[in-house]
Amino acid sequence: MLTAPAHYDLSVQGQRLRVTARGVWTIETAASINDALERDYGAVTYDSVDYHLDGVEDMDTAGAYLLTKAMRVGDDIKDWQLVGGTPAQKTLLSVAADAQMGEPPMEPRQWYDILDRLGRATLRFWDELYATLAFVGQFFVMFFGVLLNPRRLRVKSIVALMEEIGLDAAPIVAMLSFAIGAVIAYMGANLLGALGFSVFMVDLVGVAMLRELAVVITAILIAGRSASAFTAQIGAMKMRQEIDAMTVMGLDTFETLVIPRAIACLLTVPILTFLAMMSGILGGLIVAWATPTQISPALFFSRLQETVDLQHFWVGMVKAPFFALVIAVVGCRQGLAVSGSVDSLGSRVTTSVVQAIFAVILIDAMFAVLFYQLGV
């Protein structure tokens, strides 16, 4: 049974409208005074609204929405505050006010909007760069601290992560590298065979796979597979407040979550790179043997040993630890930056993959310039 219908009083003091509500403001009672209340709102002039709800016995979202119609009369949006009432009533009014005031349609401002987006993107870039550099500095301090005190290493976590990062990724790395080696061999057979230099296809496959493609393909695959996994795992822990619980227990976040993943990447990415090199060369060998060039395996390996210097192998292997650290740092950094929403987790996972792949290609280009200057 309803104890009291919805009643209200309106009074204007200066430019402030005082709305005093009493009774039960629910969908059953408030609808009966909707038209009268709207007319009374439109009959007075004011700049802001004060709500006094001490006499309200009950209120739902329908009643709150009806009261907040005072905040928007025509195209003018009014300021408001709750003077008397409970926290629950304030929450209802806030939700109803957000729905009531909504974003007004904006006129297109082509050049202004472009510059605005560009400026915001620039600020986000510098903020992200600063946060990443701070994270990298903190990471290396903790990383060298753990290396100087090996008892702090979490061996079980490192072994489990090595299985996840390395062993589980080995089939896809080998398969993709095999396919890339085969594609390069086919290209070499077509282009060089037309000139009568089919045997140089071996040089092309060897140098390309050992020096560049094997390590880059491996790094990109690990960036898409493991960096996203790091971000998702750590981000989910942060959303469930597990990281806060670890901090309360006295566990260091870097030592527990970041360092094991970095060490696991450091140990597995070079091994996967070597596997990718061998798979790519095997793909090139099979294509060279199967195509009309008919380069036998013996001739293939003999040519490879004679013309492809061992330094190409070491150039590729030297890059692997740097790529591994970049992938681990970016993945963990984005995971720790996740806020409490699912949208934030999805956004950070995407950012993690994009940043990791971008960093891998950028570092590879820097190595290419460096090795060119060194004559390697």
3-state secondary structure (DSSP) of residue 74: coil
List of E strands, the chain: 7-13, 16-25, 48-59, 72-73, 76-77, 79-84
Terminal-residue alpha carbon distance, the chain = 89
- For residues 298-322, give the mean pLDDT: 89
What amino acid occupies position 241? Q
Please say whether the beta carbons of 39 and 4 come within 8 A.
no
Number of domains in the chain: 2
pLDDT in tens, 196-210: 777 788 888 889 999
In a domain, 66, yes or no: yes
pLDDT at 74 over 70: no
Tell me what pLDDT residue 178 has: 94
Give the chain's mean pLDDT.
Answer: 85
Categorize the per-residue pLDDT at 2 as very low, low, confident or very high, splitting at 50, 70 and 90: very low
In the chain, % of residues over pLDDT 90: 30
Measured between alpha carbons, how far is 198 from 346 in angstroms, rounded to an integer? 48
138 and 251 inside one domain: yes
Measured between alpha carbons, how far is 94 from 357 in angstroms, rounded to an integer? 43
150 and 288 inside one domain: yes
In a domain, 111, yes or no: no
Categorize the per-residue pLDDT at 175 as very low, low, confident or very high, splitting at 50, 70 and 90: very high
- For residues 103-131, give the mean pLDDT: 79
Tell me what pLDDT residue 9 has: 83
73 and 22 inside one domain: yes
CATH of the domain at 82: 3.30.750.24
Residue after which a domain boundary falls, among 77, 101, 125: 101
Measured between alpha carbons, how far is 92 from 70 in angstroms, rounded to an integer? 15
What pTM value is reported for the model? 0.68
309 and 369 inside one domain: yes
Tell me what pLDDT residue 4 has: 63
Tell me what pLDDT residue 1 has: 43
- For residues 331-350, give the mean pLDDT: 86
